[in-house]
Structure 1
């Protein structure tokens, strides 16, 4: 195309493109940006008109970047990430504290955060729910200062802080399932079921938090559909798509009328810790960690 000036490019177009490249889903992209799906599509079309070619291949079932889209992503992402880090870093200069959490575990910090507010009344605390599909992304992009995470954490650029919660395992199972009334179920029982898996998680979580490919006796564990959000997981369980291995925290905070949570054995308890970037200079992060140890 001719007559296109770099200065005329809307930064929101590039942000929508980068987030879409991360999510590969228009609905999740819209949710992250706080926009409607039609607005995300409009921004992408505008960017494609400026480039003069399609960047994304879309069908009713999937979204993926084409080679030109991959090239644009490689070119703009480093600069985009630096710009985003500069903006959020400046916003955090007043030493507020932005805390990320995975849905079922947000209450593990209720007491430490209350004590932090009592000691530092001027400290503005904001909470952000993290996506299972992008567990460490907001932390690395500077969108949160510290986060709650499940062990193990095998990320060299991150500091593992104190343990703030331990949760026994539960099996989410449809209320009308023949085994739903069992007093407890074991990992060996999964050989007779299909499990619902998360869409994408860090390798160490996939390896340890979710069931292995076989039971301890060697019987295969079938994997069915994947889900990202807690409501998606519970909806899939309720409609008979499979069972979901989770924890008592899930049973405490996310409910569905057609799902029950049965005590589950054969896998270790879930352990929750604080995690932050090694290069953080926000003193409130370590102060929160110190308060958590005092509990």
Structure 2
């Protein structure tokens, strides 16, 4: 049916097109209004305005159903891909404008130094925000959208996250009070932990970290390893070691950033090295995440060649 007196304008109104595309998906004015955050009369007004602009009806309405007529189907087939491209372009531009937000665990920040320098050289216009992660909420900022990519200890057993490349490997150390007679040893073995009190993981630490980073409940010979109250941060861990006659199984990264005058670090044998990997949300729309991961891979390869 021809709509009389309809102006044949060439100007495209994005609000009208968005209302039409959503209505074509929902085939219900109420649900369309809910998705768009508009009133139902406003949705109807936008559709009528679009039809006047086209010059014919696009949507057939009855008291029971809403359908697209052939002309509406034609517009949908052409408009939906274009509208989705527009939405992606807007989202990607908004994401790029806010920069790249990177999360890190305190002792392991140095694993990102090379990738950060390379990224800044390539994209001086893109701001970088660094956020230190809490051991008790390692994946929270990533899942809440507060960071775009982060480093963490492997293994990573989290649904909805992409596990990226390895960016660092760190041998194990034992943080022990300088007053302890073992603090001057050349090394301490995991079997020896049965004779010490070991700071355990906080209940809010991811289960895979608790299993892989902290010493097990027993030594390889089956002797129980006593655990004392957990700590939440590196300074808390070191303070507990210095004053509570406890030890903490850490890595060579710890004394680079966190020390205590009453704490010594002794090589710890019998535990696997700590491996650091990049991780990001599987559904990320950030256009620079993959590039940053690639730079981290290049830097890691360069570091390995230099150490060889």
CA contact (8 A) 1:174 1:238 kept: yes
1:206 corresponds in structure 2 to 210
Residue pairs, 1:90-239, within 5 angstroms? 92-94=95-97, 96-199=99-202, 200-239=204-243
Residue pairs, 1:239-258, within 5 angstroms? 239-258=243-262
1:82 corresponds in structure 2 to none
| Deviation at residue 91 of structure 1 after TM alignment | 6.6
3-state secondary structure, aligned to 2:182: coil
3-state secondary structure, aligned to 1:226: coil
Query: TM-score, normalising length from structure 2?
Result: 0.66
Unmatched 5+ stretches in structure 2 = 1-91, 300-308
- Bigger drift between 93-102 and 180-189 goes to 93-102
| Deviation at residue 156 of structure 1 after TM alignment | 1.8
1:4 corresponds in structure 2 to none
Residues paired across the two proteins, number? 208
| Deviation at residue 289 of structure 1 after TM alignment | 0.4
3-state secondary structure, aligned to 2:174: strand
| Deviation at residue 241 of structure 1 after TM alignment | 3.7
**Aligned mate of 2:282, from 275, 278, 284:** 278
Residue pairs, 1:56-71, within 5 angstroms? none
CA contact (8 A) 1:162 1:273 kept: yes
CA deviation digits over 1:57-107, x for unaligned, max 9? xxxxxxxxxxxxxxxxxxxxxxxxxxxxxxxx9974525100000110011
Query: TM-score, normalising length from structure 1?
Result: 0.68
3-state secondary structure, aligned to 1:179: helix
3-state secondary structure, aligned to 1:246: strand
Q: RMSD between aligned alpha carbons?
A: 1.6
* Residues 120 and 264 (structure 1), Cα distance of their counterparts in 2 relative to 1, 3 Å cut: same
CA contact (8 A) 1:95 1:284 kept: no
Residue pairs, 1:73-84, within 5 angstroms? none
Q: Which runs of 4+ in 1 moved over 4 A?
A: none
Distance of 1:90 and 1:243 partners within structure 2: 49
CA contact (8 A) 2:172 2:252 kept: yes
| Deviation at residue 253 of structure 1 after TM alignment | 1.1
1:75 corresponds in structure 2 to none
* Residues 291 and 113 (structure 1), Cα distance of their counterparts in 2 relative to 1, 3 Å cut: same
Matched, 1:267 2:271: yes
CA deviation digits over 1:161-214, x for unaligned, max 9? 111100000000000011111100000000000001232211111011110000
* Residues 241 and 225 (structure 1), Cα distance of their counterparts in 2 relative to 1, 3 Å cut: farther
Distance of 1:128 and 1:164 partners within structure 2: 18
